[in-house]
């Protein structure tokens, strides 16, 4: 029996126990947006690490605490795992087939809020460490974990935390919190994340709502002010109208285009998965759709609220209105700069009455697709998944990779248990048990290969 055969045998034999542990973690709500259960979840994650012989610290950040953990290994190399224990809000609750915080196993899948994003990643990685410890008696290299509790609210305190703990977090490479296979079952290597600038726009035009018959033609209406302010940000041509917004944007390089061109078609899958009739800007598919998806910045309305929202008619002129707006940023845009540009634009367009609050911001960042650590992760994936891992130079999502890349100076590679039906951020979030196991097998191999590199 080879080392990896023993590892794999351990994982097969102990799968149910690991899923039980994951279910316990999922059953602990930890909703960053609602400041719910975060301390309790951090404590639970800390206990899980401590029980594996890690030295654990629960460190304050000004928001939800960071769980930091460290255990020495055979080689001098240090791998840093980045994960998060917070989850998205579960709403709309009525669209869940089983309650979001009561994990449910059926048809080879485990359902629950956070089961994929990101608690499944945490526990499957611990599972990989269990297998290495059980079969080798020690870890092949030094391992550190940084597990934060504000990823779903744009990691507002993480950047500053990393800047203040660069020594503690010293490592040689970082394995990111997510990853997985695409619709062809091909494991994917995601090498860049867009940044984000998440704001709330709000307007108040009166102290109370007014009967619409009285005020309609003479009183300002908060909902109209909001609609006009939003329209000033972007029109149906999808061009973002904030002056200077596009100035720092770097177009994809020839290497980016080459890697993007090698990726499979996504148009049909998106159409059927999301029920989308057509794509924006006349895009129909192919390389140009994929490039637009990740190399362009966005301005997305995530939520609108004002006045009466119940059934039927209520004749009210709303005193208050608000919108949640999410800008996705590409290199070299910066959230604080976009926030300033947005404020200046609204003022210039006559919307000084529209209040803007920054709810979260992260700069975009990328890792070189040809970095040696990336090559290790890609090579070991093929051993587990049976097909070559495919490199994606940039992805549409966001995350706090900037301080890892630019403050800690680490290559950041991805590996994970996701798949296209995982429904992260949506009702009925789930993981496939087969991919949970594969991710643990992959992580065990990454650690061994990295230790020897």
Torsion over CA: 162, 441, 426, 327 (sign)? positive
Question: Residue 199: enclosing H or E segment and its boundaries?
Answer: strand 192-204
Residues between 44 and 103 that touch a copy of itself (CB under 8 A)? 88-89, 91
For residue 354, the minimal CB distance to a copy of itself (Å) is 12
Closest CA relative to residue 393, chosen from 374, 406, 379:
374
**Binding status of residue 424 toward a copy of itself by CB under 8 A:** yes
Contacts of 373 (CB under 8 A, 6+ apart): 172, 173, 411, 413, 450, 453
Comparing CB distances to a copy of itself, the nearer of 302 and 344 is: 302
> What is the Cα–Cα distance from 414 to 178, expressed in whole angstroms?
6
For residue 209, the minimal CB distance to a copy of itself (Å) is 6
Residues between 167 and 196 that touch a copy of itself (CB under 8 A)? 194, 196
> What is the Cα–Cα distance from 52 to 277, expressed in whole angstroms?
49
Tokens of 364: 């975009």
* Binding letters toward a copy of itself, positions 316-335, x by CB under 8 A: xxxx-x-xx-x-x-------
For a copy of itself, how many residues bind (rule: CB under 8 A)?
A: 94
DSSP letter for 360, please.
E
Comparing CB distances to a copy of itself, the nearer of 24 and 324 is: 324
Tell me which of 33, 58, 263, 356 binds a copy of itself, using CB under 8 A: 33
Tell me which of 289, 332, 371, 385 binds a copy of itself, using CB under 8 A: 289
Is the distance from CB of 408 to CB of 174 less than 8 angstroms?
A: yes
For residue 108, the minimal CB distance to a copy of itself (Å) is 22
> What is the Cα–Cα distance from 49 to 145, expressed in whole angstroms?
9
Tokens of 60: 């304050």
**Binding status of residue 158 toward a copy of itself by CB under 8 A:** no
For residue 44, the minimal CB distance to a copy of itself (Å) is 22
Comparing CB distances to a copy of itself, the nearer of 229 and 384 is: 229
Tokens of 374: 């990336």
For residue 401, the minimal CB distance to a copy of itself (Å) is 13
Residues between 194 and 253 that touch a copy of itself (CB under 8 A)? 194, 196, 198, 205-221, 223-224, 226-228, 230-231, 234-236, 238
> What is the Cα–Cα distance from 179 to 120, expressed in whole angstroms?
11
Residues between 92 and 151 that touch a copy of itself (CB under 8 A)? none
The sheet that has 430-432: what strands, in order across it? 104-106, 109-111, 430-432
Tell me which of 395, 401, 414, 430 binds a copy of itself, using CB under 8 A: 395
Closest CA relative to residue 160, chosen from 403, 331, 395:
403
How many C-beta atoms surround the C-beta of residue 44 within 10 A? 17
3-state secondary structure of 162: helix
CA dihedral (137, 143, 148, 153) in degrees, to 10, reads -120
**Binding status of residue 312 toward a copy of itself by CB under 8 A:** yes
For residue 288, the minimal CB distance to a copy of itself (Å) is 10
For residue 313, the minimal CB distance to a copy of itself (Å) is 4
Q: Give the binding range for a copy of itself (CB under 8 A) out of 7-15, 107-115, 307-315, 411-419.
A: 307-315
For residue 352, the minimal CB distance to a copy of itself (Å) is 12
Tell me phi and psi for residue 79, to 5 degrees: -105, 130
DSSP letter for 150, please.
-
Q: Give the binding range for a copy of itself (CB under 8 A) out of 311-319, 336-344, 365-373, 374-382.
A: 311-319
For residue 103, the minimal CB distance to a copy of itself (Å) is 21
For residue 194, the minimal CB distance to a copy of itself (Å) is 7
Comparing CB distances to a copy of itself, the nearer of 167 and 278 is: 278
Tell me which of 360, 369, 411, 418 binds a copy of itself, using CB under 8 A: 360
Comparing CB distances to a copy of itself, the nearer of 168 and 283 is: 283
> What is the Cα–Cα distance from 83 to 146, expressed in whole angstroms?
6
């Amino acid at each position: 029996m080879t080392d990896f055969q023993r590892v794999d045998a351990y994982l097969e034999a102990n799968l149910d126990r690991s899923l039980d542990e994951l279910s316990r973690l999922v059953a602990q709500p930890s909703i960053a947006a609602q400041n719910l259960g975060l301390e309790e979840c951090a404590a639970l994650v800390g206990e899980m690490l401590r029980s594996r012989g890690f030295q654990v610290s629960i460190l304050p950040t000004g928001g939800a605490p960071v769980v930091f953990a460290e255990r020495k290994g055979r080689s001098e190399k240090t791998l840093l795992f980045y994960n998060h224990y917070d989850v998205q809000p579960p709403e709309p609750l009525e669209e869940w087939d089983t309650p979001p915080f009561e994990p449910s196993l059926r048809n080879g899948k485990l359902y629950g809020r956070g089961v994929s994003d990101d608690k499944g990643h945490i526990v499957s990685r611990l599972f990989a460490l269990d297998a290495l410890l059980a079969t080798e008696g020690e870890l092949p290299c030094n391992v550190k974990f940084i597990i934060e509790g504000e990823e779903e609210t744009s990691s507002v305190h993480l950047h500053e935390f990393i800047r203040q703990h660069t020594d503690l977090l010293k490592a040689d490479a970082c394995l990111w919190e997510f990853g997985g296979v695409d619709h062809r079952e091909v494991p994917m290597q995601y090498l860049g994340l867009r940044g984000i600038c998440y704001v709330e726009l709000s307007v108040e035009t009166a102290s109370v709502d007014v009967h619409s018959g009285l005020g309609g033609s003479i009183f300002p209406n908060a909902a109209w002010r909001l609609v006009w302010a939003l329209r000033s940000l972007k029109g149906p041509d999808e061009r973002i109208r904030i002056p200077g917004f596009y100035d720092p944007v770097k177009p994809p390089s020839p290497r980016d285009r080459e890697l993007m061109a090698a990726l499979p078609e996504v148009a049909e899958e998106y159409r059927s998965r999301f029920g989308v009739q057509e794509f924006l800007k006349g895009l129909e598919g192919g390389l140009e759709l994929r490039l637009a998806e990740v190399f362009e910045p966005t301005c997305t309305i995530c939520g609108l609220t004002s006045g009466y929202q119940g059934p039927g008619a209520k004749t009210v002129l709303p005193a208050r209105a608000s919108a949640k707006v999410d800008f996705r940023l590409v290199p070299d845009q910066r959230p604080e700069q976009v926030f300033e540009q947005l404020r200046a634009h609204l003022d210039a367009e006559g919307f000084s009455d529209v209040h803007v609050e920054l709810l979260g911001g992260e700069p975009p960042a990328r890792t070189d697709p040809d970095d040696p650590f990336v090559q290790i992760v890609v090579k070991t994936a093929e051993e587990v998944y049976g097909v070559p891992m495919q490199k994606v130079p940039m992805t549409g999502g966001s995350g706090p990779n900037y301080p890892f890349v630019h403050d800690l100076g680490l290559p950041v590679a991805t590996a994970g248990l996701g798949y296209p039906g995982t429904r992260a951020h949506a009702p009925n979030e789930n993981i496939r048990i087969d991919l949970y196991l594969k991710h643990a097998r992959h992580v065990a191999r990454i650690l061994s290969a990295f230790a020897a590199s």
